Amino acid sequence: MALITDAWMPDGRKRPYRMCVRCVMDTTDPHISFDEAGVCSHCRNFETDFRPHWKPTLEGWAEFESKLAEIKAYGKGKEYDCIIGLSGGVDSSYLATKAVEWGLRPLVVHVDAGWNSELAVKNIEQIVTKLGLDLVTHVVDWEAMKELQLAFLRSDVANQDIPQDHAFFAALYNYAIKADIRYVINGTNFATESILPQGWGYDAMDARHIVAIHKQFGKKPLRNFPLISLFNYYFYFPKIRRMEIVSPLNFIPYSKQEAIYHLEKGYGWRYYGGKHYESRWTRFYQSYYLPQKFGYDKRKAHLASLIVTDQMTREEALAELEKPLVTDNELAEDKAFIAKKLGITEAELDEFIHRPPRHYKDYPTNERQLKWALRAYAVVSRAGRLIGIGKPR
């Protein structure tokens, strides 16, 4: 398997192939640009947008320690002081071990969207058992999940992970509000996931986009699917209910290799071989659907993220990209399983992959509303502070 150099362009134009000289992002990203030296826009954005917020330093730690103190003070007299979403993957598993080390008392919440691999559930079992943490699971109604995933497949958009990702976050945040636990600690981190081209798939948090695609392509009403509205996500939860999402991995040195070593050695945890491959769906989607239908190889973004944070050399990343995305055996097994689980034939699944791609902008989104809302929100929050809503500075 050689490097993928040809990708679908929404405007149909052809660009000569080019790869960044510093990372491995290339012209398969429709929006990439390069400076005179041949360094790409992702590398530049990392320096301007991410590095200033990424503080795996003493200064960052001091900042984070005051946050820890705040969380612990909030948790006085409560059974739990925060919630951690645990998928069984590297980031969230590592975070759970660190949270306990820091003296937090998290309630672990797992959202099961129906694609857990045995490795994922075993990892969750090991982590909660060895750390002595309590677990809650939100099992997404599979009939609803299936209905929405099929609607998305029929829509031919790039981000087929939207149903699953939205369910993860919506169920987690809705649960935090219901359980009245203010702090949600997540494993999001700049160290391993700062680069992800927006052109490779639309934002999973846009409920309007989801509902619109379901309305156009669904066959049954969408019941019991966890959704989070723009209003709740950007305003009601954070400002009125004062839910706060904290990403500690941005304040400590975080290396994926070390995290895996730490988890395997101390917790009987096992690695599953690729970013987000703890989900069977994601494995299929990233290793087959997306590269086949769109020419997008997400490994490039993951590897580029590791390069800009000095966890990997460009040569190592290029060697990694030469490896096949998936073996023929794995693919045959995945296809059979996924078709069966979605209640379609393998031929129908192939058909979804061979049909022409569509751009997410072909369907309704909240992009404009969101820009407007965030601007309006800046005004409101200034006014709000005068009447005591929102966070005191």
Partner 1 sequence: MKTRVITVLLLKEQGLVKTIRFKEPTYVGDPINTIRIFNEKEVDEIVLLDIGATPAGAEPNYRMIQDIAGEAFMPVGYGGGITSFEQAKRIFETGIEKVVLNAAMFDNQALIERLVGVYGAQAVVACLDIKKNLFGRYELFSHGGKRKRPVGLDDHLAALRQLNVGEVIVNSMDRDGTMSGYDLALLRHVTERIDAPVVACGGAATVDDFKQAVDVGASAVAAGSMFVFRGKHRAVLISYPERKTLTQLLP
Distance CA 367, CA 66 (A): 35
Q: Which is nearer to partner 1, 144 or 317 (CB)?
A: 144
SS3 194: coil
Closer residue to partner 1, CB minimum distance, 242 or 340? 340
Instruction: Tell whether residue 33 is a contact of partner 1 (CB under 8 A).
Output: no
Stretch that binds partner 1, among 318-326, 337-345, 363-371, 372-380 (CB under 8 A): 337-345
Told to check if 344 binds partner 1 by CB under 8 A, we report: no
Token pair, residue 385, equals: 């502070």
Among 10, 39, 131, 141, which residue sits at the site for partner 1 (rule: CB under 8 A)? Answer: 141
> Which is nearest to 304 in space by CA: 3, 5, 23, 43?
23
* Number of amino acids touching partner 1 (CB under 8 A): 24
DSSP string, 330-388: HHHHHHHHHHHHHT--HHHHHHHHHSPP--GGGS--SHHHHHHHHHHHHHHHHHHHHTT
Which of 39, 121, 331, 373 binds partner 1 (CB under 8 A)? It is: 121
DSSP 301-331: HHHHHHHHTTSS-HHHHHHHHHS-SS-HHHH
The one segment of 121-129, 156-164, 298-306, 358-366 that binds partner 1 by CB under 8 A: 121-129
Distances (CA, A) of 125 to 108, 129, 336: 11, 6, 28
Minimum CB distance to partner 1, residue 341 (Å): 5
Options 117, 247, 369, 381; binder of partner 1; rule CB under 8 A: 117
Closest distance of CB 118 from partner 1, Å:
4
Q: How far is the CB of 103 from partner 1 (least distance, A)?
A: 21
Q: Which residues bind partner 1 (CB under 8 A)?
A: 110, 112, 114-118, 121-122, 124-125, 128, 134-137, 139, 141-143, 280, 337, 340-341
